[in-house]
Amino acid sequence: MTYYDEFMAGHLVLPHALLEHFAKIFPSSEDFLIWLYFYENRDTLPSEIARKIGKSLPEVNHSITSLQNFGALKVTLVELNGDVETIFDVSPAFKHLDDLSGSNPLTGAENQEEGQLKELVGVFEAEMGMVSPMQVDELRAMLFEDKYDLNLIKLALREAVLNRKLSLKYIKGILRNWHNDGITSVQAAENRENQHQESKSATGHQDFYIPMDGPWN
């Protein structure tokens, strides 16, 4: 039986392989702690977890979102008798563990892509706060469909921060303009900016002639 099958059967002890592949399954050790509470009892309330570990509810909710984005947790809203119940499902982590353990191993290229996406999500979260699953899909598209360079996307994010227009729409606009101008690397973008600054400096310091025999004499 696979790890997922053992979990669904209700008699799985956390395997050593989970620690072996920890960094590929969980965003961070703090997020893993949140995941453990749901592993023990999927009906545990986020507010209860926050109280037990001495964190704020927004911090716990941020970890839940990170676990969702990373594919270690599935959150489902179910309506029962007019009430909405939230179900926290930890089984995706075991499906991922099965993949990593050999039943359906990721290729080297796929591992590299996931690593790039994880890095990019982390950079955006540092500037924008919580990144939604829809936004993660947009970032994935920038990397692997539009084929924008990872560091170029980071540079576009920095431009958006400096201009105080922090939105994915604005950032995609920057990338699109660069692409139309033939700029596909950070070096190319920085070279153009340097040329722009040099041009402004030269224009601002041009000598100009003042006639000495004007009508004011």
SS (H, E, C) 32-95: HHHHHHHHHCCCCCHHHHHHHHCCCHHHHHHHHHHHHHHCCCEEEEEEECCEEEEEEECHHHHH
Query: Amino acid letter at 127?
Result: E
Of 123 and 211, which is predicted with more confidence?
Answer: 123
Look at the pTM and tell me if it is higher than 0.85: no
Task: Give me the pLDDT at residue 52, please.
Answer: 94
Task: Give me the pLDDT at residue 212, please.
Answer: 44
pLDDT band at 73 (very low <50, low <70, confident <90, very high): very high
Q: Render pLDDT for 14-29 as a digit per residue (tens, 0 to 9).
A: 777 888 889 999 999 9
How far apart (Å, rounded) are the C-alpha atoms in residues 76 and 103?
27
Q: Render pLDDT for 75-119 as a digit per residue (tens, 0 to 9).
A: 988 777 778 788 899 989 988 888 887 654 445 566 677 788 888
How far apart (Å, rounded) are the C-alpha atoms in residues 156 and 167?
11
Residue pair 167/156 in contact by the 8 Å Cβ criterion: no
The DSSP code sequence of 138-199 is: HHHHHHHTS---HHHHHHHHHHHHHTT---HHHHHHHHHHHHHTT--SHHHHHHHHHHHHHH
Task: Give me the pLDDT at residue 105, please.
Answer: 45
Whether 217 has a pLDDT exceeding 60, the answer reads: no
